[in-house]
Structure 1
Amino acid sequence: MPTPDFVVELREKVGHDLLYMGGVTALVIRDVAPGSPVWEVPEVLLVKRKDTEEWTPITGIIEPGHEPDDTARREVWEETGIEAQVEALLGVGEVGPVTYPNGDQALFLDTAIRLSQVGEEQPCVHDDENIDVGWFKISQLPPMKPRFRLVIADAVAQMKHPQGFRPRMGYHKRNL
């Protein structure tokens, strides 16, 4: 999905100045099948962004009137063509500041959420923001920013040990 209309309208008024916005990081995790060998590990759904050619979890901007969980499910559908359900809150924290190639600046209050796939659909590039999509074993992740590795690790830890997991507040540290 391109830049949301509300951001485009704000940019007409504030130019490239720093905007503070809500965002989500959606971690779709696929656990190993029961009875699998002990060396099998969960997988995470990643997209390869067109603008940076980096592999990332699915991310997006929360639009006015929308909740983070709805945004996470919508972004997963828009970017990969699969339906997902929310399983757990992983954390909330600031990400950025980010300066985009056109000079726009943003700072995000990001909500990281673990989801699981509903159904058996194969993910595909379902938008114009990405050039690839795929499942990756958490032990064989492509190069990515440390903050994404951290949220993937938290998603798996929460899935494996939900009673002992506490969502992070101040989830993302600057420069991660």
Structure 2
Amino acid sequence: MSPDPVALPKHSVAVVGVVVDEDDRVLVISRRDNGEWQPPGGVLELGETFEDGVRREVFEETGCAVEVQRLTGVYKNLKRDVVALTFRCAATTEPVALTDEARDVRWMTLDEVREKMSPVFAARVLDAFEPEPSVRAHDGVNLL
């Protein structure tokens, strides 16, 4: 007997773009809702491919068009049941200073990422510089 689809656990799927420039700086936002520094990203829409979702989220949050290059990590927030797929990207246009979703948009060095981002978001950025994708679980702030 197959399980009742209504009773199955539900997960949200998010996509994140780690946009890297020629100096290995990363495009980041300070979110309007909580002020946190993060790489741009958000929930994947129904019927949307991963790559289209990354391009849409990065553009909505930074005004920057990107080329999606490769998957760099899969992350599960065990408290909120969100699975995030992170992709390394290259900018094809310049970002803007602020958007409806970001109170600030700027390029950060990896040292600044380590200093200003929560551990889970810093890990997503730093993992984008590794040769193989990472698979990690977290509680929304810290890796587990």
Q: Tell me the TM-score normalized by structure 2.
A: 0.82
* Residue 167 (structure 1) aligned with residue 110 (structure 2): no
Q: Distance in 1 between matches of 2:22 and 2:137?
A: 24
Pairwise CA RMSD of aligned residues? 1.8
Aligned pair partner of 1:88 in 49, 70, 94:
70
Q: Which residue in 2 is equivalent to 1:118?
A: 92
Q: Which residue in 1 is equivalent to 2:117?
A: 144
Q: Distance in 1 between matches of 2:137 and 2:87?
A: 13
Q: Is the 8 A contact 2:73 2:128 kept in 1?
A: no
Q: Distance in 1 between matches of 2:112 and 2:138?
A: 24
Q: Which residue in 1 is equivalent to 2:3?
A: none
Unpaired runs of at least 5, structure 1: 1-17, 33-41, 98-105, 158-164
| AA aligned opposite 1:138 | L
1:20 deviates by 2.0
Q: Which residue in 2 is equivalent to 1:38?
A: none
- Which segment is superposed worse, 22-31 or 88-97? 88-97
SS at match of 1:133: strand
1:19 deviates by 5.4
- Cα offsets for 1:34-89 (capped at 9, x unmatched): xxxxxxxx100110011111111112000110122111110111111111010110
Q: Distance in 1 between matches of 2:128 and 2:44?
A: 20
Q: Is the 8 A contact 2:65 2:92 kept in 1?
A: yes
Q: Is the 8 A contact 1:23 1:59 kept in 2?
A: yes
Q: Distance in 2 between matches of 1:86 and 1:133?
A: 19
Q: Which residue in 2 is equivalent to 1:108?
A: 82
| AA aligned opposite 2:137 | H
Unpaired runs of at least 5, structure 2: 1-8
Equivalent pairs, count = 132
Name segments (4+ residues, structure 1) moved above 4 Å. Answer: none
Q: Tell me the TM-score normalized by structure 1.
A: 0.68
1:150 deviates by 1.0
Q: Which residue in 2 is equivalent to 1:133?
A: 105
Aligned pair partner of 2:40 in 58, 62, 65:
58
Q: Is the 8 A contact 1:45 1:136 kept in 2?
A: yes
| AA aligned opposite 2:106 | G
1:122 deviates by 3.8
